[in-house]
Copies of this chain bind each other. A is one copy, B any other.
Amino acid sequence: MAVQYIASCDGRVVSAKEIAEKYAISFEFVSKALQALMRRKFIASQQGATGGYIMLRDPKTLSVAEILEAVEGKQRLVECCGEGGAGACSMHGRCSIRTPLAIIQRRLDAVLQSMTVAQMAFPDENIEQYVVISQFTGSFETSFSN
């Protein structure tokens, strides 16, 4: 929500306090998330009395996957379904479902990569792209509003 809000402010410097008040969550909690996003260079911070945060990455190419990984770390179905995690698992050698799980993991990642900050912040401008992607799910959705 914070990233979506910063993106929607389009160039304005937004303080963590403002975001915390808007969404009624604690200032410290928002700050922690924003600091993680800053470390990944998704947003830039400006210190001082009129400081705050501003978008650094283009919302059209910043995906939900990247935000989740920055804030919560890389989440996996099981520890071995990542890059070179074959030996990392305690079931190594006995597991018979590593390949199918890795395939599912790749598809899940693709889903999280398919939604961008721009689509969340400016839904009206992205209807065409949205319809194309939704063909996978089997259902055709034509509206996109909050």
Q: How many copies of the polypeptide does the oligomer hold? A: 2
B114 touches A107 (CB 8 A): yes
Chain A interface extent, by class: 35 or more
A9 touches B (CB below 8 Å) = no
Q: Answer whether residue A80 sits at the interface, using C-beta atoms and an 8 A cutoff.
A: no
Known: A110-B138, A111-B111. A1 touches B104 (CB 8 A): no
Is the CB of A146 closer than 8 A to any CB of chain B? yes
Give which listed residue, B1, B94, B108, B120, contacts A108 with CB less than 8 A: B108
The answer, yes or no, to whether A95 is at the interface (CB within 8 Å) is yes
Contact at B115–A103, with CB atoms within 8 Å?
yes
Could you show 8 A-B contacts with beta carbons less than 8 Å apart? A4-B96, A5-B96, A96-B146, A97-B120, A100-B146, A103-B134, A104-B111, A106-B137
Other CB < 8 Å A-B pairs besides A97-B120, A103-B144, A104-B111, 20 of them? A1-B97, A4-B97, A5-B96, A23-B91, A23-B94, A24-B91, A24-B94, A64-B104, A96-B146, A97-B146, A99-B144, A99-B145, A100-B115, A100-B120, A100-B123, A100-B144, A100-B146, A103-B134, A107-B134, A136-B136
Binding site for B on A (CB under 8 A): 1, 4-5, 22-24, 64, 91, 94-100, 103-104, 106-108, 110-112, 114-115, 119-120, 123, 134, 136-139, 141, 144-146
